[in-house]
Amino acid sequence: SHSGWGSSWLGIAEATLACGAIGGSILGIRWQGQFLARRAFWTLVTQGVGLGLVGVDLRATLVIGMLLIGVTSGLASVWLSGCFLRVVAPSHLGRVSSVSQLGDLLLIPVMTPVFGALAGHASVTTATLVFGACMSVLCLTFVLRPEISGLR
């Protein structure tokens, strides 16, 4: 609101994210292959760039960042789900999916106030760039683990 963008830009950003996720999911279904976990985590490394872009005070970078986040989310979700189906016994799929979901949500209660404090003391751009870089580094550590990158 301080930038004078108005609430319509929130709608545009959310719609861009949703369309990107739908498109990424469709692309992920069509573009299969081996080493889906490795490919998914490399895609999520790229997602960190999108997270950083949403904080830049330009409308074009907001839309590009949200599109990148959406597409990478759609791709990675399909590929990681495909990987689960290939390597996890059917009797354990529910448990593995629950643990994965827990891992996705685990840091939100801690990181949301940290993000707010960083944005308040520095800037929104700084906070999104730092968090985007952290996301990229975290996913890169998964890509570099042979147990994950070697999954077929």
Q: Supply the DSSP string of 35-101, one letter for each residue.
A: -HHHHHHHHHHHHHHHHHHTTSS-HHHHHHHHHHHHHHHHHHHHHHHHHHHHHS-GGGHHHHHHHHH
Helices 124-143 and 36-53: crossing angle in degrees, nearest 10, is 170
Domain residue spans of the chain:
7-150
| Residue located via tokens 């354990």 | 92
pLDDT at 10: 87
pLDDT in tens, 81-138: 888 888 888 898 888 888 888 887 888 898 999 999 999 999 999 999 999 999 999 9
pTM, two decimal places:
0.87
Phi, psi of 64 (to 5 degrees): -65, -45
pLDDT in tens, 42-55: 999 999 999 999 99
pLDDT at 71: 97
> What's the CATH class of domain 7-150?
mainly alpha
pLDDT at 112: 92
